[in-house]
Amino acid sequence: MATITLKSNAIHTNGELPAVGSTAPDFHLVDKDLNDVRLGDFKGKKKLLNIVPSLDTSVCATSARKFNEYIKGRSDLVMLTISADLPFAQGRFCQSEGLSNVVTLSMMRSRNFAKDYGVLIQDGPLAGITARAIVVLDEQDRVVYTELVPEIAQEPNYDKALAAL
């Protein structure tokens, strides 16, 4: 269990992020077209998992926009923004923001992703959705960088995440 804060109030996750050097847990998420998506669907590419509580918040939206800009024109990596939002809301967000380089994935069918990655919030007003975190994977799905953002209302460390890619 990890402790983070929401506006300076302590809240807890169900576990810890995957360890650097470990193989990332597989996942089962849903894309904008309601297709089931697994980690293996991105085989051979570097992956940045931008895990956010909801794209309907300014900090989550900002991180998606910043990472979208970074990966523009990069075919060697994929940026996955993962949230509890429904795929329809994720699609509207990307369309309204003009984000074409982001792959949004929803936990609508299962919270196992959040549990397996140790980011499921256990208590407080956001219980049941994810903490804000970054996980960077290499082409073989090994974890090369993680960040559990200590205050949910803060942005992640973009420079460190991007350097890991």
Residues catalogued as catalytic? 60
Q: d(Cα 47, Cα 42) in Å, to the nearest integer?
A: 8
Contacts of 73 (CB under 8 A, 6+ apart): none
Asked whether the CA dihedral 97, 99, 100, 106 is positive or negative, the reply is: negative
The rounded distance, in Å, linking the Cα atoms of 114 and 94 is 22
Q: How many CB atoms lie within 10 A of CB 133?
A: 24
Q: Which residues, including other chains, have CB under 8 Å from residue 38's CB and lie 6 or more apart?
A: 26, 27, 28, 29
Position 20, amino acid: V
